[in-house]
Homo-oligomer: A and B are copies of this chain.
Amino acid sequence: MSHQQSDEQYVVGVDYGTLSGRAVVVRVSDGAELGTGVHDYPHAVLEASLPADLAGSARPLAPEWALQVPEDYREVLRVAVPAAVAAAGIDPAQVVGIATDFTACTMVPTLGDGTPLNEVDGLADRPHAYVKLWKHHAAQEQADRINELARTRVESWLPRYGGLISSEWEFAKGLQLFEEDRDVYDRMEHWVEAADWIVWQLCGHYVRNACTAGYKGIRQDGAYPSSDFLGELAEGFGSFVVDKLEHPIGELGDRAGALSAEAATWTGLPEGIAVAVGNVDAHVTAPAAQAVGAGQMVAIMGTSTCHVMNADVLREVPGMCGVVDGGIVSGLWGYEAGQSGVGDIFGWFTRTSVPAAYTETAASAGESVHQHLTRLAAAQEVGEHGLVALDWHSGNRSVLVDHELSGLVVGQTLATRPEDIYRALLEATAFGTRVIVETFRDSGVPVEEFIVAGGLAQNALLMQIYADVTRLPLSIIDSEQGPALGSAIHAAVAAGAYPDVPTAAKQMGKVRRHVFMPDEARAHAYDALFEQYVALHDHFGRSTTTMRRLKAIRREAVARRRSRAQT
């Protein structure tokens, strides 16, 4: 037990991702990561149907739905946390705090005591009783109406979100629930961010974090959209904020409460230690990468990408996800942008679109399909594949904020190979990032450095493409579990080990600076492709309704097939 010293203090950070929860034990003095535990959610993401083991039968879900099961989150506390402590080889008695971060906007409908509605007798077969995961994209119609009405009424909060509220967020998802299952809506006492629900499970009471309340809950200058606005949106919806949403706010890094006896039993940690206010996986990563200064854009690149950046000025940036006072670090304006699909798209492509010859060659070379395609793609000159793609397979989060958009590849010929399309998809996500970076810059919030966290940082070709396409120096977080480390930093602050998050970040965060630098010749070649990307972006995102029509046609066809199957 070489890590163990009798006077050391430790904290636990738990990162709740899309498919699993990951706990890490971190030394308070220097941020050393001593042990990790991971637990895959048994029900993963519910996209095709409800789970038969809970709902009685595999009731089908409509397209664009994405649900989760809250009990899967509790199981992470019971499995991954003890595993991390055991792997670290420390005495749990020396753990002084725990903090969590979560995907967002992921929403749990609960009773007054925090019981998720899918656990309530008689509701387990109701889709709306389950957790709506961030990538539940079935509330676009509601988002459209929110946006239209807010524009008409010139609501002051709208520009804080770049002019568009996302279908992923609290109000659109809440309005969908209100309109599609009024019974479940009426029984719901709180509409809770999963980021706060898990803290509630840990310390026994509900604290609403400033980050998601601001970014996902339209809380600006201390207020939510008015009941007048909400009532005009839908009759009976006027009291949504008062009845379901409003709750005392906790600042990031604050102590939400003490670890309850029950949660102490689950985790094996000491009862009464500090539990930090909930946080979001992306935002919590900025201090983990020592990137809490102005102009330092942190991109958490995994299945999707979140971009977070602090600034001391308030600017309204078109199409960004939001700007929130204290949204990343208490006392600064936190900016957020995002791309709904990144690693997800690469994963989808390797699963569905790569022939046996490639998977076999990769296997015999001891490579993953990703590695194999990356190696082949890396041998190309910029533009050699003759392709450009739009990275909207999961819609567009910034700057168009439209989840009715979809993916596109143009330029295919009979000579086009899998590695060509793969590279075009990598590049498309880089172009999507460049659109975001340029939009920030043009709005008076310049980006000076691009710091990458998340699993995709391991792909050197992808990183070089991002440096070349954005012409920014790329730094890489020096931790494989950025969000969990970021949570641990917040746990240390909540426990009183550091006065504030920036001070803790300086001691505990880790980054390798300027690992990838832009190459001007390649950057120049990418300019020509980017010009075409922008043309496609503006055409499909702003000028035509093709993608929206295709989604509508698909929904009508699925409904037709289902009604046919029932007769």
- Tell which of B354, B414, B525, B532 touches A546, judged by Cβ atoms closer than 8 Å: B532
In the docked arrangement, what's the CA distance between A351 and B358, Å? 11
Can you list 26 contacts pairing A with B, beta carbon distance less than 8 Å? Answer: A352-B416, A353-B354, A353-B418, A355-B359, A381-B557, A381-B560, A381-B561, A383-B556, A384-B557, A384-B561, A385-B554, A386-B553, A393-B414, A394-B413, A406-B411, A407-B413, A408-B412, A409-B412, A410-B540, A411-B547, A411-B550, A411-B551, A528-B553, A532-B546, A532-B549, A535-B546
In the docked arrangement, what's the CA distance between A359 and B528, Å? 38
Interface residues on A, range: 35 or more
> A63 an interface residue at 8 Å Cβ cutoff?
yes
Indicate if the CB atoms of A546 and B409 lie closer than 8 Å: no
Indicate if the CB atoms of A406 and B394 lie closer than 8 Å: no
Tell me the chain A residues, 542-567 only, with Cβ under 8 Å from chain B. 544, 546-547, 549-551, 553-554, 556-558, 560-561, 564
> A509 an interface residue at 8 Å Cβ cutoff?
no
Indicate if the CB atoms of A386 and B406 lie closer than 8 Å: yes
Indicate if the CB atoms of B539 and A544 lie closer than 8 Å: yes
Binding-face segment, A168-176, A252-260, A341-349, A487-495: A341-349
Cβ of A534 to closest chain B Cβ, rounded Å: 11
Residues in B whose Cβ lies below 8 Å from that of A406: 386, 410-413
A415-B63 contact given A410-B546, A554-B384, CB 8 Å threshold: yes
Residues in B whose Cβ lies below 8 Å from that of A561: 380-381, 384
Residues in B whose Cβ lies below 8 Å from that of A348: 414, 416
> A529 an interface residue at 8 Å Cβ cutoff?
yes
- Tell which of B341, B412, B558 touches A407, judged by Cβ atoms closer than 8 Å: B412
Q: Which of A381, A414, A529 has the most CB of B within 10 A?
A: A414
Cβ of A62 to closest chain B Cβ, rounded Å: 12
Question: Which residue of chain B has its CB nearest to the CB of A562?
Answer: B381
